[in-house]
């Protein structure tokens, strides 16, 4: 038997098919399926709540995740809940901290091999999945690890270090190839053979998702249809994309306005062409999802403001996935930038697994200021678009309508109501909270308001409108206040 193992923390909404003769063991998906069990989340929350204020905050996330996973069938809501589950499950004794689409080391950075190696011998949250994989290796001849991103490296190193010495070890994948020279010097990978192999990804989605399981991920697939990133320039010929089987297009851009749009490589496309292409693709049932990369060389504050205003008013995209920081991947940095002169900087000596190519450009926003600016732009655009909860295939291409107005008070679809035995402030006695995982807000609730909200969340039995016991005028003010705070959905 030959095994292809996908280590955590890869995109768990994708499914993988390996070449003939290999059996796929997707640990990334197995880990998230285990973490996402509501009963396990509630048990972990009970343990965390006794760990002081930090533990109480973890418990709040875990209970929120459990509540929404039990209540919702909406893909993006469930993904947001899984993000809360992963963050809440990142106990202080673990060597890594998890988010929906990312992994950080408790000490150091994944861009430094020594830090990642140290994390791999620490306490990892995927221990049950690693143990199952090692058990499967007992009867195998070949263990091939798929390394697509740096977030998988701690688990991959742990697997390679613990695998039987007589088992042939192979490494493949984009991250493995780009950083082969550095990775080959790490003790767990010293005996590995690098192979040029790529399993075929498909849009598997979460259990019960609305995605078509026959869809491939990325243009280079043998599936009849596919979703994935396309260049802005390819929209000049939408009929070619349709002919190639495109069923969903992710378009990255740096700027857009009334005259032209600018791609991540600096090339420009007339905005009329962009609008016409998006309309033609939508007519054919193909969503075009935009992703704004902020911080391109030489971009001014006026250009950023113009792009934000244009997106709010005239964006032709079916959806906006998010607002990201502009970067050039280490292996794809262009020889020149069409938007203006760029000065390449040396790679930091202490970061031998650096992901992106450092650069400077005149007139651009300093890199240190970008995170705050991006957060502000994302908050602004979230009033117009329901941004994807993470950079996962299903998060990007799942359709999600705006919450519909309700005839009676109802919880916001992404809001959980949680009862904790102690308050986040450390005060004794039970405390009640409403947590909106889409908007990122947490509201401590008056004990008199909590029962009807718990009833709306399905945590308590009630008949009729749970707010009916309040006088009409008082009820109207209460519902308006809870709606403004993201606890309740809008009512007619």
Q: What is the DSSP string of 56-125?
A: HHHHHHHHHHHHHHHH---HHHHHHHHHHHHHHT--TTSSEEEETTEEEESSS-TTSHHHHHHHHTS--T
Write down which residue in 159, 194, 229 finishes a domain: 194
The CA distance from 138 to 136, in Å, is 5
246-256 and 260-263 strand pairing: antiparallel
d(CA 219, CA 285): 17
Gyration radius of the chain's alpha carbons: 24
pLDDT, residue 141, reads 95
Residue 404 lies in a domain: no
Question: CA torsion sign, 27 to 29 to 33 to 35?
Answer: positive
* pLDDT of the residue at 194: 96
What's the pLDDT score for residue 464? 58
pLDDT of residue 399: 65
* CATH code of residue 332: 3.80.30
Whether 152 and 257 map to the same domain: the answer is no
**Cα 462 to Cα 452: distance, rounded to the nearest angstrom:** 8
- DSSP H or E stretch at residue 310: helix 301-314
Q: Is residue 407 part of a domain?
A: no
Residue 122 belongs to some domain of the structure:
yes
pLDDT in tens, 318-346: 999 999 999 888 766 666 677 667 888 88
Q: CA-to-CA distance for 306 and 463, rounded, in angstroms? A: 51
142 and 169: one domain?
yes
Which of 162, 194, 226 finishes a domain? 194
Task: Identify whether the C-beta of residue 58 lies closer than 8 Å to the C-beta of residue 383.
Answer: no
| 479 and 371 within one domain | no
Domain membership of residue 202 (yes or no) is no
- Report residues of the chain scoring pLDDT below 50: none
205 in a structural domain: no
Residue 45 sits in the same domain as residue 177: yes
Q: Which residues are CB-contacts of 378 (< 8 A; sequence separation ≥ 6)?
A: 322, 323, 387
Same structural domain, 26 and 150: yes
Give Cα separations from 91 to 44, 120, 121, 180 (angstroms): 10, 16, 16, 32
Whether 35 and 81 map to the same domain: the answer is yes
Q: Please indicate, yes or no, whether residues 23 and 143 belong to a single structural domain of this protein.
A: yes
Domain count, the chain: 3
Residues 44 and 126 grouped into a single domain: yes
Residues 252 and 134 in one domain: no
Q: Is 278 among the domain residues?
A: yes
Does residue 419 lie within any of the structural domains? Answer: yes
187 and 310 in a common domain: no
- Cα dist. 274→176, 236, 281, 320, 327 in Å? 36, 7, 11, 15, 23
Position 200 in a domain: no
The per-residue pLDDT for 206 is: 84
Based on the domain organization, do 228 and 335 belong to the same domain?
Answer: yes
Report the predicted TM-score, pTM, of the whole model to 2 decimal places: 0.92
- Which pLDDT score is estimated for 452? 85
Q: 307 and 366 share a domain?
A: yes
Q: Which of 368, 397, 426 is the last residue of a domain?
A: 397
List pLDDT tens digits, range 207-259: 766 666 678 998 777 778 999 999 999 999 999 999 999 999 999 999 998 89
Percent above pLDDT 90 for the chain = 64
Residue 302, phi then psi, degrees to nearest 5: -65, -40
* Full domain range(s) for residue 370: 216-397
């Amino acid at each position: 038997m030959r095994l292809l193992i996908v280590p955590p923390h890869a995109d768990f909404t994708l499914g993988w098919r390996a070449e003939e003769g290999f059996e796929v063991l997707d640990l990334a998906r197995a880990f998230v399926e285990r973490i996402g069990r509501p009963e396990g989340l509630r048990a972990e929350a009970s343990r965390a709540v006794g760990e002081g204020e930090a533990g109480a905050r973890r418990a709040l996330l875990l209970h929120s995740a459990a509540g929404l996973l039990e209540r919702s069938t909406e893909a993006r809501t469930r993904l947001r809940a899984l993000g809360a589950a992963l963050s809440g499950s990142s106990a202080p004794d673990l060597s890594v901290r998890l988010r929906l689409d990312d992994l950080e080391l408790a000490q150091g950075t994944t861009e430094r091999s020594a830090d990642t190696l140290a994390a791999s011998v620490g306490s990892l949250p995927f221990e049950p999945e690693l143990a199952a994989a090692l058990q499967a290796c007992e009867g195998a001849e070949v263990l091939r690890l798929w390394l697509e991103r740096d977030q998988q490296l701690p688990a991959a190193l742990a697997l390679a270090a613990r695998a039987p010495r007589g088992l042939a070890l192979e490494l493949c994948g984009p991250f493995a190839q780009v950083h082969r020279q550095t990775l080959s010097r790490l003790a767990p990978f010293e005996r590995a053979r690098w192979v040029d192999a790529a399993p075929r990804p498909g849009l598997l989605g979460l259990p019960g998702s609305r995605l078509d399981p026959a869809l491939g991920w990325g243009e280079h697939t043998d599936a009849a249809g596919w979703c994935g990133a396309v260049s802005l320039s390819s929209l000049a010929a939408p009929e070619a994309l349709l002919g190639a089987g495109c069923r969903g297009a992710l378009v990255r851009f740096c700027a857009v306005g009334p005259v032209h749009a600018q791609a991540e490589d600096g090339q420009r496309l007339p905005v009329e062409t962009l609008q016409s292409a998006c309309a033609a693709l939508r007519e054919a049932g193909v969503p075009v999802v935009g992703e704004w990369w902020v911080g391109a060389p030489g971009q001014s504050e006026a250009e950023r403001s113009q792009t934000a205003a244009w997106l709010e008013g005239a964006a032709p995209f079916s959806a906006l996935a998010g607002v990201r920081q502009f970067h050039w991947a280490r292996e794809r940095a262009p020889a020149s930038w069409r938007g203006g002169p760029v000065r390449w900087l040396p790679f930091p000596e202490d970061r031998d697994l650096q992901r992106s190519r450092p650069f400077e450009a005149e007139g651009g926003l300093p890199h240190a200021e970008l995170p705050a600016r991006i957060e502000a732009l994302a908050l602004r655009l979230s009033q117009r678009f329901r941004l994807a909860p993470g950079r996962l295939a299903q998060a990007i291409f799942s359709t999600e309508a705006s919450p519909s107005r309700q005839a009676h008070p109802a919880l916001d679809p992404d809001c959980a109501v949680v009862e904790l035995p102690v308050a986040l402030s450390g005060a004794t006695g039970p405390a009640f909270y409403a947590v909106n995982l889409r908007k990122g807000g947490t509201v401590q609730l008056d004990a008199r308001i909590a029962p009807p909200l718990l009833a709306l969340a399905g945590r308590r039995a009630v008949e009729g409108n749970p707010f009916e016991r309040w006088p009409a005028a008082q009820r109207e003010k209460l519902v308006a206040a809870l709606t403004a705070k993201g606890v309740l959905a809008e009512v007619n």
